[in-house]
């Protein structure tokens, strides 16, 4: 599955066309997308190995990562998973196993995106909007800052970023990390928030879920995620006993900090296709708001 995922990352929608492509076309496509596929598969592997090594440190049996290939653009995979084969014995173990996955993917995704943006370029927005062959990657607070810092200042209503495959890998890595950091059920964020706040978090986690559902007003795909969380992932975390020694201050602060990063890397509208790229993006709305504020001063 690892090799198959690498191929779907590299060839994406062209995966089924491989038998019909010439050797020259295959070679060109392979090396064009290699920075994306190689970087992203390393990010996904590091994420799962963070969980794997933390679990093995506590003597908990887990499987090796399973990669999930999806031969479709623009991502080419549904990520990777591991299965924990034994019960986690206390909240300290739960915290360490939960936090090391997103921490590892953050450590790799951030430099991938930053370095990739240095190799990216600006294009006129007219060439993007209304073009049915274009896929637009959404913006987070972090990506807006990096784009403006490296390529700007530029007006996102007039220009868009044509990202390098390495930046695309970093973007997907950050998206996967952000989804995993959602504070529900068996997601990594669910492990961390439950470990930090304990049973009392059940008093307010449903209110947080209702707030999450409002994201579907921004992008309809979050309604699907709401369905998956409610019926499959679950909103509440299963009970795990407290450890003999409560979580230390360093872990509590680290847990809150990594959950706080979700605000900066979360993408309200992740992907738009072709003629759907008409609504102003997050960067464009922030830019417009800033201009209106400064014009009133």
- Report how far residue 297's alpha carbon sits from residue 58's, in angstroms, rounded to the nearest whole number: 58
Average pLDDT, the chain: 89
Q: Are the CB atoms for 109 and 174 separated by under 8 Å? A: yes
Reported residue count of the chain is: 297
Tell me what pLDDT residue 157 has.
81
Tell me what pLDDT residue 104 has.
98
Q: Is the pTM of this model over 0.75?
A: yes
Average pLDDT over residues 96-114: 98
pLDDT digits (tens, 9 = 90+) for 220-248: 889 999 999 999 999 999 999 987 778 99
pLDDT at 179 over 80: yes
Q: Are the CB atoms for 18 and 26 separated by under 8 Å? A: yes
Rg value, the chain, Cα: 20
Q: Are the CB atoms for 47 and 36 separated by under 8 Å? A: no
How many C-beta neighbours within 10 Å does residue 131 have?
Answer: 13
Task: Cite the beta strand spans of 188-240 per DSSP E.
Answer: none
pLDDT digits (tens, 9 = 90+) for 10-38: 887 677 777 777 888 888 888 999 999 99
Comparison of pLDDT for 143 and 135, the residue scoring more: 143
Measured CA distances, 229 to 35, 201, 223, 236 (Å) = 32, 17, 10, 10
223: Cα within 13 Å, side-chain hemisphere: 5
Q: What angle (nearest 5°) sits at the alpha carbon of residue 146, between those of residues 215 and 286?
A: 45
Q: What angle (nearest 5°) sits at the alpha carbon of residue 94, between those of residues 230 and 215?
A: 30
Confidence of residue 278 (pLDDT cuts 50, 70, 90): low
Of 3-7, 80-84, 132-136, 197-201, the one with minimum mean pLDDT is 132-136
Average pLDDT over residues 191-211: 95
Task: Cite the beta strand spans of 103-183 per DSSP E.
Answer: 121-124, 135-137, 159-162
Hey, where are the domains in the chain?
Answer: 2-296
Q: What are phi and psi of 218, to 5 degrees?
A: -90, -45
């Amino acid at each position: 599955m690892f090799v198959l995922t690498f191929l779907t990352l590299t060839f994406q929608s062209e995966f089924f066309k491989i038998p019909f492509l010439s050797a020259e076309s295959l070679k060109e496509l392979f090396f064009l997308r290699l920075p994306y596929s190689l970087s992203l598969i390393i990010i996904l592997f590091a994420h799962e190995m963070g969980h794997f090594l933390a679990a093995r440190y506590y003597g908990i049996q887990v499987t090796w990562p399973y990669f999930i290939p999806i031969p479709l653009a623009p991502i080419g995979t549904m990520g990777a998973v591991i299965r924990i084969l034994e019960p986690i014995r206390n909240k300290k173990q739960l915290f360490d196993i939960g936090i090391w996955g997103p921490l590892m993917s953050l450590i790799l995704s951030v430099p991938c995106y930053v370095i990739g943006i240095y190799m990216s370029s600006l294009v006129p927005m007219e060439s993007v909007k209304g073009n049915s062959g274009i896929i637009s990657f959404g913006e987070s607070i972090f990506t807006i800052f990096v784009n403006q810092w490296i390529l700007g200042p530029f007006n996102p209503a007039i220009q868009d970023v044509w990202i390098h495959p390495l930046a695309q890998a970093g973007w997907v890595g950050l998206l996967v990390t952000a989804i995993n950091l959602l504070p529900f059920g068996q997601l990594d964020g669910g492990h961390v928030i439950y470990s930090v706040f304990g049973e009392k978090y059940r008093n307010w986690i449903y209110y947080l879920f209702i707030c999450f559902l409002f994201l579907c007003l921004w992008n309809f795909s979050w309604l699907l995620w709401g369905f998956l969380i409610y019926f499959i992932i679950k909103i509440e975390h299963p009970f795990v006993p407290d450890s003999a020694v409560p979580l230390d201050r360093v872990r509590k602060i680290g847990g809150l900090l990594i959950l706080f990063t979700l605000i900066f890397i979360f993408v309200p509208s992740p992907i738009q296709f072709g003629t759907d790229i008409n609504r102003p993006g997050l960067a464009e709305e922030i830019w417009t708001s800033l201009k209106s504020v400064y014009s009133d001063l």
